[in-house]
Amino acid sequence: MTDWVKPLPLPDNVSAPYWAAAREGRLLVQECPQCGNRQWYPRALCTRCAAEPEWLECTGRGVVYTYCVIRQMGTAGFRDEVPYVVAMVELDEGPRVMGNVIGVDIAEVHIGLAVEAEFIAVADDIGIPQWRPLPNH
């Protein structure tokens, strides 16, 4: 497990399966059994029809939909990593998820960059997905 000094997510009854799956290296989004809507982040109800969503395991692949480069950050755990990239990644399955793009020079990050989830184990029941460009990006 990594030495994580940033704030930890606080899993609740709705989001705990998401964090636990990420701990196992699996990326989940929610899919509605009534209307087919897919959503991220985890919610108790479908945002389209208010049915109870189910979990859908994703490929862990997507493209950068948009991003920003963080160049100043005073908070412990983050300040040693500037500059870093925070992106919205549009998954192959549709939903957009937020995370850091890693393993690439920030000047090479661009909209449309193909990325794949890579998971950091930060606690026994919590993993955090980050996004690494696919080879030959």
Is 32 one of the binding residues for Zn ion (CB under 5 A)?
Answer: yes
Is 56 one of the binding residues for Zn ion (CB under 5 A)?
Answer: no
Q: Give min distance, CB of 49 to Zn ion, in A.
A: 3
Of the residues 1, 5, 44, 49, which one makes contact with Zn ion according to CB under 5 A: 49
Of the residues 4, 9, 20, 48, which one makes contact with Zn ion according to CB under 5 A: 48
Is 111 one of the binding residues for Zn ion (CB under 5 A)?
Answer: no
Which is closer to Zn ion, CB of 54 or CB of 57? 54
Of the residues 1, 5, 44, 51, which one makes contact with Zn ion according to CB under 5 A: 51
What is the three-state SS of the chain? CCCCCCCCCCCCCCCHHHHHHHHCCCCEEEECCCCCCEECCCCCCCCCCCCCCEEEECCCEEEEEEEEEECCCCCCCCHHHCCEEEEEEEECCCCEEEEEECCCCHHHCCCCCEEEEEEEEEECCEEEEEEEECCCC
